Structure 1
Amino acid sequence: MTFFDPSTEDLDVPTIRKHAVRLAKAGLVGLVCMGSNGEAVHLTRAERKTVINETRSALVEAGFSNVPVIAGASEQSIRGTIELCKESYEAGAEYALIVPPSYYRYATGNDQTLYEFFTSVADGSPIPLILYNYPGAVAGIDMDSDLIIRISQHPNIVGTKFTCANTGKLTRVASALHAITPPSPLAPAQRKFPSTKTEANHPYVAFGGIADFSLQTLASGGSAILAGGANVIPKLCVQIFNLWSAGRFTEAMEAQELLSRADWVLTKAAIPGTKSAIQSYYGYGGFPRRPLARLSAEQAEAVAEKIKDAMEVEKSLPDIA
């Protein structure tokens, strides 16, 4: 997430840095800057570069140089998106997270135009791309598995974030592209079918896009999650992956049930509620930039109370560093 001074709405760089390190210490193995929860649409290009650079710098200084930074880098044009990818790379990002162009939705929302958009950006980007399938943010454009698999044949496209929450689609893509997946006694040792991707410099990554289907992502052959809820409850997210990897399915289900209930509270409260939860439990967080509303004291208290059970488990789990 991106944090701001509550009075001026200027970037709160010390808090941005502190937050990144807290998440890395909790065990997250990659961080997203300038995604949906990062309020990228509220920032200038210069501010975006600052957030990416400060996040990368904070991780390195804290001993987490191996934790990659994924940067949202979407514009409406191919040219503009490539420029953002280059700026993100210069600021320290290792990957770019890209949504479909949607302002001219009825001209750009067809399969061929989307294919040309993503592959052209991949041609010009200095860093690998992760497709971001989030229909709610792009006027309902929802790429199906056939299109994602076709686009992902490009060697510089290395993953997809499924915020569509369609686990069937995730399964088909993960299977076709041999997405990397955590080893577990609960999962097959190898994929049943050969990969459709013949040229790859990087293992494909199939991300669940919401924390409330973390375990379902793994059971579907997925790789990991990129989820806003991990800003608040990172160690519980990591715990589900650890339990899956250890073959402890019943405990993983119990943890997922707890996470799903808390994540639904955060999803309904959106960015203002997520920031208020961070404020309630970690002493920082503040408010989003306007025009996003600020929660009242009563609303913030209600969010904190509704995620209390998950937060008690979160507090009981150790940091990794």
Structure 2
Amino acid sequence: MDGLLLALRPLYPFISLRRLFILAPPISSTTRCYFTGSNTPTLCATFQPRPQAPGRVLSRLFTSNTIMTVSNGAANGHKTTGRPLPCGIYAPTMTFFDPETEDLDIPTIKRHAERLVRDGLAGLVTMGSNGEAIHCTREEKLAVTQATREALDAAGFADTPIIVGATEGSVRGTVELCQLAQQAGGDYVLLLPPSYFRLLMDEQAVYDYFIAVADASPLPLVLYNYPGAVAGIDMDSDLLIKLAAHPNIVGTKFTCGNTGKLTRVALATDAKTPFSEGSGYMAFGGVCDFTVQTLASCGSGIIAGGANVMPKVCVKVWNLYAEGKRDEAIALQKILSKGDWVLTKAAIAGTKQAIQSYFGYGGYPRRPLKRLEKARVAAIEEGVREVMEIEKSL
């Protein structure tokens, strides 16, 4: 199998855009579907069978005719993950620190992870932008993911997947972080394109970087399109579709907020939705006020910082739309979007402050990020008050 994959690698960009299945687990014909955060089956015309763990997540080669599929990570001795990525809401979790020493606060990291999954989130992302990965050593990154996995397992959420931010500036460094993510209990990695040498990172360089990492990573890759974090590098739909042909690249997070781009990639890859298993490729919106748009664009889920603060509201918007209650979903998203904008402007310090104000823990970001002044704290609390009243009622 490895030899066949290597032989086909030069054809990845030219293979047509159809995802096909061999050795895939059968999809149930039941008319029951499970919406995010619910253990109650609901009758519906179109459905998403509830993922079963342990199981095999499949990654496909794009082919004109049925050729093959391989388990995520099976190529080149990669890991086969037993935790599929379900549709729904994911949070890029915060990393909490002791307010005096700035050491990792492992008990709070575990407490936060458990709260989020109990509130209905489909999965968690550690060491992303909200997790202050840029402020953490490799050892700390490993410890945060380990603590998160331990917390989920201990709380009875052993089937909840963890995506781990693992970007470094070189292929070698990124692959090493991917290996550490696997050791720590991660199931997938989330990767930005390298950007320090911005003027040298043309489209071919970005493509070559991701292909090289995908070839060597023990975990499947979710690409992270966030121009604001990488000196303006904005991967277009053509590049993302071409990269998606690699069997170890299984999704994209669209923090760019480009609805058209998400739609094109989702359609070309036959992305998984609440209504169809599709190919299994995951097209994630990157902001929670982008939820309805993501669903309408054939998207798979949301990975959004606001879910750290108001996970139940985020899940409710998702479920309302998936259940066909679109007017209700839009009405609730309007309220959600106002609160989320307050948090977006206040960034990591503001998100931690909102958690502190409403859940009794949170603390501060690591320096050089500043702590908020009292007037700003009051403004944040007032700005999210409406959505948090709904959050507490759910």
Match of 2:155 among 44, 47, 62: 62
Distance 1:151 1:159 in 2: 10
2:220 matched to 1:128?
yes
* 1:246-305 deviation per Cα after TM superposition (whole angstroms, max 9, x unaligned): 100110001110111111000000000000000000000000000000011221121011
* 1:32-89 deviation per Cα after TM superposition (whole angstroms, max 9, x unaligned): 0000000000000000000000000000000001111110000000010000000000
1:1-321 equivalences under 5 Å are 1-108=94-201, 110-183=202-275, 203-317=280-394
- Larger relative contact order, structure 1 or 2 (CA cutoff 8 Å, min sep 6): 2
Moved over 6 A (4+): none
Structure number with the higher helix fraction is 1
Q: Which residue of the partner structure matches residue 197 of structure 1?
A: none
The Cα shift of 1:190 comes to 9.3
Distance 1:66 1:259 in 2: 28
- Other structure's SS at 1:4 match: coil
Taking only aligned residues, the RMSD between alpha carbons, in angstroms, comes to: 1.0
* 1:68-117 deviation per Cα after TM superposition (whole angstroms, max 9, x unaligned): 11100000000100000000000000000000000001112x11111110
Task: Return the TM-score normalized by structure 2.
Answer: 0.75
The Cα shift of 1:232 comes to 0.3
- Other structure's SS at 1:289 match: coil
* 1:99-145 deviation per Cα after TM superposition (whole angstroms, max 9, x unaligned): 0000001112x111111100110011001000000000000000000
Q: Which residue of the partner structure matches residue 69 of structure 2?
A: none
Q: Pick closer, same or farther for the CA change 1:260–1:58 going to 2, 3 Å.
A: same
Q: Pick closer, same or farther for the CA change 1:190–1:289 going to 2, 3 Å.
A: closer
- Other structure's SS at 1:70 match: strand
- Other structure's SS at 1:49 match: helix
Q: Which residue of the partner structure matches residue 194 of structure 1?
A: none
- Other structure's SS at 1:207 match: strand
Distance 1:301 1:20 in 2: 26
What amino acid is aligned across from residue 229 of structure 1 in structure 2?
G
Distance 1:111 1:8 in 2: 42
Distance 1:315 1:66 in 2: 26
Task: Return the TM-score normalized by structure 1.
Answer: 0.92
Distance 2:277 2:141 in 1: 40
How many residue pairs get matched? 301
Question: Higher Cα Rg: structure 1 or 2?
Answer: 2
In structure 2, runs of 5+ residues without a counterpart are 1-93
- Other structure's SS at 1:259 match: helix
